[in-house]
Structure 1
């Protein structure tokens, strides 16, 4: 059962359907639900995850859960509804199922570290942002409340990109000449298809139950990424203006972090090997 069947969840559903697995999904978007039904999902429920009303709407019996819900918007209150209250609702429903595995996609945004440090799953989280603390609360709910015998996996995802999700590439194709910010901070990326592989490994109960970072292992400064994509497109290389604030920073009210996300644990214990081990392979596949 996939909760939050959006960009990653839909790709996961397609992989599972191709393998002959019966798949159900919950989404809050009626149009998206129609698309999912057309793909061949067993059942699709349109509901708000934080409510328990959807529990009785599901008729199927499921052996595994993937919670890859995104925020419903509405600032920190929306984060709490989607991540914390949504997780709690799934865990209540899970008590009625015979689950073997539960995978939750969290985010490397839980880490407060910056200034170029290497960050692994043991990093200090005491200075996490308000939104990061809500994600950590959702993670902790799963760790403490997974039904007995259920193998649980938390995947902290780096910056997601892939088909139909390549903002910088779109900006260059649209002729953007000046990027706001300095471009000196490192981006940690992970391709959508590699995330799907990580989720599948969690569903197969690979590795110990616990928390794993998923990042391709090739951090790159935003400026270097922009220059490389511009070279591939044979277009002028834009400049960066440090006096302008990047839109993401304006929305979130926080500094853009500069760090290196270490995913060796996932590679060693889960057996996760990225098909796209750097932005080069990933973006070449998109060009």
Structure 2
């Protein structure tokens, strides 16, 4: 990890799923007392196998879990994801969940609070470069919920060390959607034919290991509170990424079908925005840089 400052003695991770589990494993291996909350009983069982200090199963937006937390914690990491249910599900998980944690945090002595948001809050298109200072007023409805959740944290006067990490598209061990797309299109997985949608927009990506490194950087360092984009150094057109993966797998180049709009694309308005997310602020202020600066390094391990 890039930052060499001392880790907090105790960290509680809310919405402890794909990213949170990797973070918990990292912290636990270094002697940090770790608590976790998840809505999923199966995920809770997996977390208990990591010998965490406490694992709670609860809906984050409820308040009943407040009295079930046994320990006191120095740092909070909220990396909850949507539990489904459309826009109402977003408000439940992200907005009401954030408020619930903030209400609970008043009983603690929190040194730092990290919230993993998303670069989906940016409405920009047309191949522009996007940093944290751009206008987000045109964000889609789901992005507006995330922005409200960020604002709740920023307004918490008793939490001077707050950090919003806007994550690009997450990939890593066990989560390699693009790799699966290439395989499915060519029959390595039961075939679904052509790849839905277009390949002429930039993919902004971040490996799970680099997300963990960024979280560790903010809970151990002295970076200014605020919002940081967490993305790799090399946003790349989707067509280029998938052509590379097909080549590595010994498969023919993928064929895109703009007329075939997947359910995933439909949920995002039928097309993906074309923009390049800048990580310059995070690299400068957090003493952080991606171990996997592009998809090539990241997928090398996965392949």
After TM superposition, the score normalised by the length of structure 1 is 0.97
Aligned to 1:99: 110
Contact 2:205/2:232 (<8 A) preserved: yes
Aligned-residue offset at 1:146: 5.1
Aligned to 2:271: 255
Taking the aligned partners of 1:256 and 1:26, their CA distance within structure 2 comes to 32
Aligned to 2:182: 172
Aligned to 1:156: 166
Structure 1 counterpart SS, 2:90:
helix
Contact 1:146/1:152 (<8 A) preserved: no
Tell whether 2:157 aligns with 1:141. Answer: no
Tell whether 2:90 aligns with 1:79. Answer: yes
Taking the aligned partners of 1:205 and 1:267, their CA distance within structure 2 comes to 13
Structure 1 counterpart SS, 2:143:
helix
Contact 2:201/2:237 (<8 A) preserved: yes
Gaps of 5+ in 1: none
Root-mean-square deviation (CA, aligned residues, Å) is 1.1
Taking the aligned partners of 2:222 and 2:121, their CA distance within structure 1 comes to 24
Q: Which of 22, 39, 49 is matched with 2:50 structurally?
A: 39
Tell whether 2:25 aligns with 1:9. Answer: no
Taking the aligned partners of 1:109 and 1:53, their CA distance within structure 2 comes to 31
Gaps of 5+ in 2: 1-11, 188-192
Taking the aligned partners of 1:202 and 1:20, their CA distance within structure 2 comes to 18
Contact 2:247/2:253 (<8 A) preserved: yes
Contact 1:155/1:213 (<8 A) preserved: yes
Q: Cα distance 1:146–1:27, how it changes in 2: closer, same or farther (>3 A)?
A: farther
Taking the aligned partners of 1:146 and 1:198, their CA distance within structure 2 comes to 24
Q: Cα distance 1:47–1:32, how it changes in 2: closer, same or farther (>3 A)?
A: same
Taking the aligned partners of 1:245 and 1:18, their CA distance within structure 2 comes to 44
Aligned length: 286
Structure 2 counterpart SS, 1:45:
strand
Tell whether 2:121 aligns with 1:113. Answer: no
**Partner deviation per Cα, 1:25-81 (whole Å, 9 max, x = no partner):** 000001110110111100001000001110001111111000000001111111001
Task: Report matched runs for 1:35-74 at 5 Å.
Answer: 35-74=46-85
After TM superposition, the score normalised by the length of structure 2 is 0.92
